[in-house]
């Protein structure tokens, strides 16, 4: 299957390659007549420029790289969606790599993308990662770079984030507004910044409302799973501390809590209210429907690509680029699991 090239069109028309190229790119120094002829023949021969050659010549691939911890995750697939859509709109394609939360793999992926000479990289760090060399490499090579969600504050790149602390505060405030006074927090793992921030938000909300912080009401997940939620729910019932509200690190775990409460006949929200985080699909289909905090995943993707494109374009013009940070708004979504009948 011979691919048609400029050369073929040129020789068929008895003109030079240069002219053919110019005609197709609508250069002003080609007569309308030849333009017409070239375009017609190109169409007929189903000409499509060899992207390899174009890349080599123009030094850009119109392709960006995206590294995320996992694809099979409601939040990330939302982001992926936004990035792909926005990228495509601007003529860019997206290569997706998965770090599986492994630092080792993440390093490989970065090397792969640099090697592939993508025009830019968007990335959410794995839990193990921080301000490591491979990330600094990206900046050193002056590859446009945007971080989102799990970021390293030490890396001076553009970022798209939410304010986890504020979002958590609002969630807990909502519980308080609903009349909860003894509020537990099922928090995430030790390291990730968002787990820390959400915990801090929880603390601050209590403080602001004059509710004493009690560290025995904080339960730390060893893994972000449904079962973990079930387990803590069990524990909470056994301990019988009079907890009347729970703020859970993420919906999946919260659903585990709800499942156990349902089984034990605990009335949610009247006995214990529960609020999750992230607005997973499952939160809308569980009974009772789970109140949660919406993270605008799609919008984060769009914002991330927009920032990246800005940097790509400004670097192309030789300008220096000043990293920007976009903080997107979250929103408490009130559903049945916190809506006490009074």
Partner DNA sequence: ATTATAATCGAAAACGTTTTCGGAAAAATC
Partner DNA sequence: GATTTTTCCGAAAACGTTTTCGATTATAAT
Q: Which whole-number Å values give the CA distances from 281 to 124, 128, 144, 232, 329, in the listed order?
A: 21, 27, 33, 22, 19
Beta strands 325-328; 292-294: pairing state: unpaired
| Minimum distance of DNA from residue 105's CB (angstroms) | 25
Q: Which whole-number Å values give the CA distances from 73 to 78, 130, 159, 281, in the listed order?
A: 8, 21, 21, 11
The residue from 22, 35, 117, 134 that contacts a second copy (CB under 8 A) is 117
* Cα 128–chain centre separation: 17
Beta strands 120-123; 63-68: pairing state: parallel
Q: Distance (Å, rounded) from C-alpha 191 to C-alpha 113? A: 27
Q: Which residue has the tokens 């990730």?
A: 192
To 10 degrees, the CA torsion angle through 96, 100, 101, 103?
Answer: -80
| Minimum distance of a second copy from residue 299's CB (angstroms) | 14
Q: Distance (Å, rounded) from C-alpha 127 to C-alpha 133? A: 16
| Minimum distance of DNA from residue 203's CB (angstroms) | 54
| 286 binds a second copy per the rule CB under 8 A | yes
| Minimum distance of a second copy from residue 14's CB (angstroms) | 27
Cβ 178 vs Cβ 273: under 8 Å: yes
Nearer to a second copy, 214 or 263 (CB): 263
| 111 binds DNA per the rule CB under 7 A | no
Q: Distance (Å, rounded) from C-alpha 299 to C-alpha 161? A: 11
Beta bridge partners of 64: 94, 120
| 45 binds a second copy per the rule CB under 8 A | no
| 281 binds a second copy per the rule CB under 8 A | yes
Q: Distance (Å, rounded) from C-alpha 185 to C-alpha 140? A: 41
| Minimum distance of DNA from residue 69's CB (angstroms) | 32
| 19 binds DNA per the rule CB under 7 A | yes
Nearer to DNA, 47 or 305 (CB): 47
Q: Distance (Å, rounded) from C-alpha 341 to C-alpha 338? A: 9
| 313 binds DNA per the rule CB under 7 A | no
Q: Distance (Å, rounded) from C-alpha 185 to C-alpha 245? A: 9
| Minimum distance of DNA from residue 28's CB (angstroms) | 7
* Count of residues making up the chain: 342
Cβ 294 vs Cβ 170: under 8 Å: no
The residue from 12, 17, 189, 259 that contacts DNA (CB under 7 A) is 17
| Minimum distance of DNA from residue 59's CB (angstroms) | 7
Region binding a second copy by CB under 8 A among candidate stretches 27-35, 45-53, 172-180, 193-201: 45-53
Q: In 94-177, which residue ranges form alpha helices assigned H by DSSP?
A: 103-116, 133-140, 164-177
| 32 binds DNA per the rule CB under 7 A | yes
Region binding DNA by CB under 7 A among candidate stretches 49-57, 103-111, 256-264, 319-327: 49-57
Region binding a second copy by CB under 8 A among candidate stretches 81-89, 145-153, 305-313, 323-331: 81-89
Side-by-side strand order, sheet with 245-248: 218-220, 183-187, 245-248, 273-275
Q: Distance (Å, rounded) from C-alpha 92 to C-alpha 121? A: 12
| 57 binds DNA per the rule CB under 7 A | yes
List the single partner that 71 binds among DNA, a second copy, none, CB under 5 to 8 Å by kind: a second copy
List the single partner that 29 binds among a second copy, DNA, none, CB under 5 to 8 Å by kind: DNA
| 115 binds a second copy per the rule CB under 8 A | yes
Residues at the interface with DNA (CB under 7 A): 3, 5-7, 14-19, 21-22, 24-25, 29-34, 47, 49-50, 52-54, 56-59
Residues at the interface with a second copy (CB under 8 A): 1, 48-53, 55-56, 59, 61, 63, 70-74, 77-78, 80-81, 84-85, 88, 93-98, 112, 114-117, 140-142, 226, 252, 255-256, 259, 262-263, 281-282, 284-287
């Amino acid at each position: 299957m011979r691919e048609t090239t400029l050369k073929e069109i040129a020789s068929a028309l008895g003109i030079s390659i240069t002219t053919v190229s110019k005609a197709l790119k609508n250069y002003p120094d080609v007569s309308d007549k030849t333009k017409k002829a070239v375009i017609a023949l190109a169409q007929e021969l189903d000409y499509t420029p060899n992207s390899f050659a174009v890349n080599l010549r123009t030094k850009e691939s119109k392709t960006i790289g995206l590294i995320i911890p996992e694809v099979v995750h409601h939040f990330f697939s939302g982001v992926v969606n936004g990035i792909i859509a926005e990228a495509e709109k601007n003529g860019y394609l997206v290569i997706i790599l998965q770090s599986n939360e492994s630092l080792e793999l993440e390093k490989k992926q970065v090397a792969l993308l640099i090697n592939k000479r993508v025009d830019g990289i968007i990335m959410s760090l794995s839990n193990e990662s921080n301000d490591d060399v491979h990330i600094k490499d990206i900046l050193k090579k002056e590859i446009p770079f945007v971080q989102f969600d799990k970021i390293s504050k030490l890396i001076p790149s553009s970022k798209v984030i939410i304010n986890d602390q504020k979002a958590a505060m609002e969630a807990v405030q909502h519980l308080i507004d609903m009349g909860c006074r003894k509020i537990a927090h099922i928090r995430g793992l030790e390291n990730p910044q968002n787990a820390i921030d959400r915990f801090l938000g929880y603390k601050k909300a209590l403080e602001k409302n004059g509710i004493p912080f009690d560290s025995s009401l904080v339960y730390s997940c060893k893994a972000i799973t449904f079962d973990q939620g079930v387990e803590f729910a069990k524990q909470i019932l056994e301990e019988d501390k009079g907890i009347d509200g729970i703020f859970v690190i993420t919906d999946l775990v919260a659903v585990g809590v709800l499942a156990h409460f349902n089984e034990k006949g605990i009335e949610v929200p009247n006995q214990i209210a529960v609020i999750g985080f992230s607005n997973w699909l499952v939160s809308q289909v569980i009974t009772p429907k789970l109140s949660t905090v919406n993270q605008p995943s799609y919008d984060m993707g769009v914002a991330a690509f927009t920032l990246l494109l800005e940097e790509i374009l400004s670097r192309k013009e030789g300008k220096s680029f000043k990293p920007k940070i976009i903080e997107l708004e979250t929103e408490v979504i009130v559903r049945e699991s916190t809506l006490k009948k009074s």
